[in-house]
């Protein structure tokens, strides 16, 4: 029997065995969306008709013995920052309201080729700026564990869709943590691949040198299977890496034996300590002990430049974002507001941007334009780039000593909606542990790490590996997941309470 709680890997088995059809599976998830999404608001757009049509095509292929891979027929949700042909793509912004792209992002194209029906587009902070999904122009997403709390961000919609069983799989994008941090606070798995490992073609850019799309799932194997589909070289992205990648599915299956003999694990000194929620640290330390029991060799590793990562990121990201967002000029696509009288082109641009962009987007455009202006460029953007180099050197030195680096994914569990909305600094601090990976391009995974003592909300465990060693994050992630199941019993998400009684 399967229900909307079945993992993608199990659905793949059931589809292969002819026990369910893709139409049934897809309908079941559409029913779940209809049942809970008025409370969760994970989706900005649901494409029931399109998804069922793709599901029927998948069933027909399978009947002919022509399934295109294990996940053919398993439905998926896609963050609204990826272009989808024929489906609205808003990036959570009013400025793109009503825009229907004439093309698919490479990631989306690969999902279609592999036969995954697309359920719809998920909510996000406007242009992926934020850590709570409260900066969406279409209203926040709610955390399925407690509907009064944030689901993380910017990809809170994808994480909440998977956590509330509205979708078995989702795609997110991670520029400074937007896959991993929502994973941590919703009890789901999120992977940021090596920069260049997944094509950015058709991903509406926030910061080109940091953005990377990746899997959002309920377990490590599902993430690996999805990564195998979306990853790999793409001629349409000049930063895409040309190489043969190993099978991540195989890495995850190997890891699931739970054996960490000989694996050298480094705990990053700078990614915990003062200001970290005690319950988050308790679960983290317990997981480290489990890894030791499973044969890992654990040492502490200092990466001194990481303390400057946040500052460097909040110069580099706004600098890139301010130039990326200049294309929203009301001339080519998106919102156009025409002021009364005989407005000039500049008047139209000004009025359209004023109405179309939210406060956080405006804040970053101003910051980025300032950091890039002549006279300040060297002092801000140039310095930030130097810090970026130092961070990469810290990673290089650390990975000389250890195979993987670990930390809690986020300093706290999900905070209350509204709590940090008027305090950008407090919001930015959520990404302390996730940002260094983006600045350096290394891969990382966040896996569910049990509930914090104080509030019984999910915490996350982050595993980082050297660039190109994405298979390692799956191997170690799957091992820790297996150790958790042995130690803590069944899947964490079964204990999510937000959608049950009273809510
Ligand atoms: N929260 C970070 C920010 O606001 C990360 C965003 C992201 O990864 N897209 O920039």
Q: Taking the alpha carbons of 363, 364, 366, 370 in that order, is the dihedral positive or negative?
A: positive
Does the Cβ of 129 fall within 6 Å of ligand 1? yes
Does the Cβ of 214 fall within 6 Å of ligand 1? no
Percent of the chain predicted with pLDDT > 90: 92
The phi, psi pair for 283, rounded to 5°, reads -65, -40
Q: Give residue-wise pLDDT tens across range 334-348.
A: 899 999 999 999 999
Does an H or E element contain 217, and which? strand 213-217
Does the Cβ of 207 fall within 6 Å of ligand 1? no
Return the best residue to mutate from 82, 175, 208, 313 for the ligand 1 pocket (most ligand atoms within 8 A of CB): 175
Q: Give residue-wise pLDDT tens across range 400-423.
A: 999 999 999 999 999 999 999 999
Residue 77 and residue 107 in contact, taking contact as beta carbons nearer than 8 Å: no
Does the Cβ of 206 fall within 6 Å of ligand 1? yes
> What is the Å distance from ligand 1's center to 266 Cα?
25
Give me the domains of the chain, ranges plus CATH numbers: 8-268+276-305+389-442+449-501 (3.90.1300.10)
Does the Cβ of 212 fall within 6 Å of ligand 1? no
Does the Cβ of 210 fall within 6 Å of ligand 1? no
Q: What is the pLDDT of residue 310?
A: 97
> What is the Å distance from ligand 1's center to 134 Cα?
12
> What is the Å distance from ligand 1's center to 143 Cα?
18
User: Once rounded to an integer, what is the mean pLDDT over residues 150-174?
Assistant: 98
Distance CA 433, CA 307 (A): 10
CA 69, 75, 79, 82: dihedral to nearest 10 degrees? 50
Q: List the alpha helices (DSSP H) in 402-461.
A: 424-428, 435-440
Average pLDDT, the chain: 96
> What is the Å distance from ligand 1's center to 177 Cα?
6
Does an H or E element contain 460, and which? strand 458-464
Percent of the chain predicted with pLDDT > 70: 97
Q: Is 418 left (phi over 0), alpha (psi -120 to 50) or beta?
A: left
Q: What is the pLDDT of residue 495?
A: 67
Indicate which atom in ligand 1 lies nearest the CA of residue 317.
Answer: 10
User: Once rounded to an integer, what is the mean pLDDT over residues 272-295?
Assistant: 94
User: Once rounded to an integer, what is the mean pLDDT over residues 352-360?
Assistant: 97
Return the best residue to mutate from 123, 124, 125, 157 for the ligand 1 pocket (most ligand atoms within 8 A of CB): 125
Residue with tokens 């065995």: 17
493 pLDDT higher than 80: no
> What is the Å distance from ligand 1's center to 424 Cα?
12
Q: What is the pLDDT of residue 216?
A: 98
Rg of the chain on CA atoms, in Å: 21
User: Once rounded to an integer, what is the mean pLDDT over residues 284-311?
Assistant: 97
Q: How far is CA 99 from the centre of its chain?
A: 23
Nearest CA to ligand 1 atom 4: 130
Does the Cβ of 318 fall within 6 Å of ligand 1? no
Indicate which atom in ligand 1 lies nearest the CA of residue 430.
Answer: 1
Please name the residues in contact with 383: beta carbons below 8 A apart, sequence gap of 6 or more.
312, 315
Does the Cβ of 108 fall within 6 Å of ligand 1? no
Indicate which atom in ligand 1 lies nearest the CA of residue 206.
Answer: 9
- Which residues belong to the active site? 79, 154, 178
Indicate which atom in ligand 1 lies nearest the CA of residue 130.
Answer: 4
Q: What is the pLDDT of residue 500?
A: 59
Q: What is the pLDDT of residue 501?
A: 41
User: Once rounded to an integer, what is the mean pLDDT over residues 447-457?
Assistant: 95
Q: What is the pLDDT of residue 99?
A: 94
Burial (0-12, 13-18, 19+ Cβ within 10 Å), 323: middle
> What is the Å distance from ligand 1's center to 254 Cα?
32
Of 455, 459, 453, the C-alpha closest to 484 is 459
Q: What is the pLDDT of residue 497?
A: 64
Distance CA 294, CA 262 (A): 9
> What is the Å distance from ligand 1's center to 152 Cα?
10
Confidence of residue 503 (pLDDT cuts 50, 70, 90): very low
Nearest CA to ligand 1 atom 5: 176
Does the Cβ of 321 fall within 6 Å of ligand 1? no
Q: Give residue-wise pLDDT tens across range 182-223.
A: 999 999 999 999 999 999 999 999 999 999 999 999 999 999
Does the Cβ of 175 fall within 6 Å of ligand 1? yes
243 pLDDT higher than 70: yes
Q: Give residue-wise pLDDT tens across range 79-121.
A: 999 999 999 999 999 999 999 999 999 999 999 999 999 999 9
Confidence of residue 269 (pLDDT cuts 50, 70, 90): very high
Does the Cβ of 190 fall within 6 Å of ligand 1? no
Confidence of residue 374 (pLDDT cuts 50, 70, 90): confident
Number of Cβ within 10 Å of residue 390's Cβ equals: 17
Q: What is the pLDDT of residue 502?
A: 40
Indicate which atom in ligand 1 lies nearest the CA of residue 179.
Answer: 8
Please name the residues in contact with 423: beta carbons below 8 A apart, sequence gap of 6 or more.
none
Confidence of residue 491 (pLDDT cuts 50, 70, 90): low
45 pLDDT higher than 90: yes
Does the Cβ of 131 fall within 6 Å of ligand 1? yes
> What is the Å distance from ligand 1's center to 176 Cα?
5
> What is the Å distance from ligand 1's center to 64 Cα?
44
Nearest CA to ligand 1 atom 10: 129
Burial (0-12, 13-18, 19+ Cβ within 10 Å), 341: exposed
Does the Cβ of 317 fall within 6 Å of ligand 1? yes
Confidence of residue 274 (pLDDT cuts 50, 70, 90): confident
DSSP letter string over 33-76?
HHHHHHHH--EEEE-HHHHHHHHHHHHHHHHTT---STTTT--E
């Amino acid at each position: 029997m399967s229900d909307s709680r079945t993992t993608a890997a199990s659905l793949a088995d059931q589809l292969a065995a002819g026990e369910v059809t893709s139409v049934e599976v897809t309908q079941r998830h559409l029913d779940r969306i209809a049942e809970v999404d008025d409370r969760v608001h994970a989706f900005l757009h649901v494409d029931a008709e399109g998804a069922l049509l793709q599901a029927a095509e998948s069933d027909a292929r399978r009947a002919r013995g022509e399934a295109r891979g294990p996940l053919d027929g398993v439905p998926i949700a896609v963050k609204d920052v990826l272009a989808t042909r024929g489906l609205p793509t808003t990036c959570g912004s009013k400025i793109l309201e009503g825009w229907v792209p004439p093309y698919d992002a490479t990631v989306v194209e690969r999902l279609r080729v592999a036969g995954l029906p697309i359920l719809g587009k998920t909510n996000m902070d406007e242009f992926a700026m934020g850590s709570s999904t409260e900066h969406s122009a279409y209203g926040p997403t709610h955390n399925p564990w407690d509907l009064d709390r944030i689901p993380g961000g910017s990809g809170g919609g994808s994480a909440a869709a998977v956590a509330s069983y509205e979708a078995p799989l989702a795609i997110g994008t991670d520029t400074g943590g937007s896959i991993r941090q929502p994973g941590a606070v919703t009890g789901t798995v999120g992977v940021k691949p090596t920069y260049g490992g997944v094509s950015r073609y058709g991903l509406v850019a926030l910061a080109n040198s940091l953005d990377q799309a990746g899997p959002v799932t309920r377990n490590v194997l599902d993430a690996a299977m999805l990564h195998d589909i979306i990853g790999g070289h793409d001629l349409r992205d000049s930063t895409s890496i040309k190489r043969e990648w190993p099978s991540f599915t195989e890495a995850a299956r190997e890891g699931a034996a739970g054996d960490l003999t000989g694996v050298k694990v480094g705990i990053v000194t700078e990614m915990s300590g003062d200001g970290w929620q005690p319950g988050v640290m308790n679960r983290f330390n317990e997981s480290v002990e489990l890894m030791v029991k499973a044969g890992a060799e654990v040492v502490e590793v200092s990466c001194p430049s990481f303390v400057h990562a946040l500052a460097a990121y909040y110069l580099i990201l706004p600098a890139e974002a301010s130039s990326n967002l200049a294309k929203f000029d009301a001339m080519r696509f998106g919102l156009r507001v025409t002021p009364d009288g005989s407005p000039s082109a500049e008047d139209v641009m000004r009025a359209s941007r004023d109405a179309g962009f939210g406060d956080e987007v405006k804040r970053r455009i101003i910051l980025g334009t300032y950091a890039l202006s002549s006279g300040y460029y060297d002092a801000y953007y140039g310095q930030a780039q130097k810090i970026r180099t130092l961070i990469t050197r810290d990673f290089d030195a650390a990975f000389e000593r250890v195979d993987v680096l670990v930390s809690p994914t986020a300093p706290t569990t999900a905070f209350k909606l509204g709590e940090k909305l008027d305090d950008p600094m407090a919001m930015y601090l959520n990404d302390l542990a996730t940002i260094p990976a983006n600045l350096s391009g290394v891969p990382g995974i966040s896996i569910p790490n049990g509930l914090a003592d104080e509030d019984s909300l999910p915490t996350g465990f982050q595993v980082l590996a050297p660039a190109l060693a994405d298979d390692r994050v799956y191997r170690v992630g799957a091992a820790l997941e297996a150790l958790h199941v042995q130690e803590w019993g069944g899947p964490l998400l079964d204990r999510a309470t937000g959608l049950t009684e009273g809510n």
